[in-house]
Amino acid sequence: MKSLIDISEIGSNHLNGGETFWQSGKETDLTVLEFWRWYYSDLLDNKARVAEYLVSKALGFTEASDSRFWAPHSIVYVGKRIEIRTAAYMKSTADDEPSDKHIRHIDIRAKDCQAYLFCLLPGKTKETADPLILDNWEFYVIPIWYLELECGNNTTITMSKVRRLVKQTNYEGLKDSINKAIIKLNPEII
């Protein structure tokens, strides 16, 4: 039986949600959209990658970039690789109890990028940690050279240190902040 999706193109083709699952050559009532609703409805789950979506849209991307979980970097913008890290006090598994464990040791081992973008959802209640409210998010853009200068060979950073190193930006100012960080790398690209 011929596959409905070319397996070699998974990751490069974006589905629209209307695709259906098939069994024994017959279409079922199971859809990709239904799967997405089932699996990705919890936006506080680490796997949801809401921050990467928000950053991509703020930068003007009309389609998601490489959304594979283990891609070497999060996005490429004006030829520069940006690694996105997300942190939050509230997680869906936290049962209404905020925790700082997800903001104490943020991995910064991806040195093949030109900038890091730290996205923080700082709310400590389910209401103030609603990822659908863009005003709830804090964004911090750090060029890799500055991160290496400040952190040396450390493989993690705390959110409190990120907050000390650079000024926070909001969603509206995100593209401008990223452009400024990249201009410092190569002024003629913007």
pLDDT in tens, 15-57: 788 888 888 889 888 888 888 777 677 677 656 678 888 888 8
Going by their DSSP bridges, the two strands 106-107 and 26-31 should be labelled as unpaired
pTM for this prediction: 0.76
Q: What is the pLDDT of residue 189?
A: 46
Among 56-60, 97-101, 163-167, the minimum mean pLDDT is found in 97-101
d(CA 103, CA 89): 7
- Is the pLDDT score of 186 beyond 60? no
- Is the pLDDT score of 131 beyond 60? yes
Q: What is the pLDDT of residue 107?
A: 86
Q: Identify the residue whose tokens are 């450390």.
A: 154
d(CA 142, CA 115): 6
d(CA 40, CA 27): 23
- Torsion over CA of 31, 91, 13 and 76, rounded to 10 degrees? 170
d(CA 99, CA 90): 6
pLDDT in tens, 80-130: 989 998 888 887 665 557 777 666 778 888 878 899 999 999 988 877 888
The closest alpha carbon to 20, from 8, 12, 29, 10, belongs to 29
β-bridge partners, 120: 87, 138
Beta-carbon count within 10 A of 63 CB: 7
Q: What is the pLDDT of residue 119?
A: 93
Give CB contacts under 8 A, 24+ apart, made by 178-183. Answer: 178/55, 178/59, 178/77, 178/82, 178/115, 178/117, 178/141, 180/141, 181/115, 181/141, 181/142, 181/143, 182/77, 182/78, 182/80, 182/114, 182/115, 182/143
- CB distance 166 to 139 below 8 Å: no
Angle between helices 50-58 and 174-183 (to 10 degrees): 80
